[in-house]
Amino acid sequence: MATKLWDKGFDTSALVEDYTVGNDQELDLRLARYDVEGSLAHIRMLESIGLLTAEELPVLVEGLEQIAREIEAGEFEIEPTSEDIHSQVELLLTRRLGDVGKKIHSGRSRNDQVLVDLKLFLRDELKQLAEEVRTLFDRLQALSEQHKEVLMPGYTHLQVAMPSSFGLWFGAYAETLIDDMRLIVAAWQIANQNPLGSAAGYGSSFPLNRTMTTELLGFETLHYNVVAAQMSRGKSERAAANAMAAVAATVGRMAMDLCLFMSQNFGFVKLPDTLTTGSSIMPHKKNPDVFEIMRGRCNRLQALPNEMALLLTNLPVGYHREMQLLKDILFPATTELKKTLRMADFMLSNLTVNEQILEDSKYDYLFTVEDVNRLALEGLPFREAYRQVGMQVQRGEYKPTREVHHTHEGSIGNLCTAEIKAKMERVMREME
Active site residues: 157, 279
Radius of gyration of the chain (CA): 29
Render 295-331 in DSSP notation, one character per residue. HHHHHHHTTHHHHHHHHHTT--SS--GGGGHHHHHHH
**CA-to-CA distance for 417 and 16, rounded, in angstroms?**
58
**CA-to-CA distance for 44 and 61, rounded, in angstroms?**
8
What are the φ/ψ torsions at residue 135 (nearest 5 degrees)?
-60, -45
Q: Give the CA count within 13 Å in the CB-facing half-sphere of 203.
A: 12
The dihedral built from the CA positions of residue 254, 258, 161 and 356, taken in this order, carries a sign that is positive
Which residues on adjacent β-strands are paired with residue 163? 153
Cβ-Cβ contacts under 8 Å for 425 (sequence gap 6 or more): none
Which residues on adjacent β-strands are paired with residue 154? 162
**CA-to-CA distance for 14 and 2, rounded, in angstroms?**
15
DSSP state for residue 9 in the 8-state scheme: S
How many CB atoms lie under 10 A from the CB of residue 301?
A: 23
Please name which of 118, 322, 107 lies closest in space to residue 199, comparing C-alpha atoms. Answer: 107
Q: Are 230 and 144 in contact (CB under 8 A)?
A: no
User: Judging by DSSP bridges, how do beta strands 269-270 and 151-156 pair with one another?
Assistant: unpaired
**CA-to-CA distance for 132 and 338, rounded, in angstroms?**
7
Q: Are 144 and 174 in contact (CB under 8 A)?
A: yes
**CA-to-CA distance for 272 and 407, rounded, in angstroms?**
35
3-state secondary structure of 259: helix
Please name which of 41, 46, 34 lies closest in space to residue 86, comparing C-alpha atoms. Answer: 34
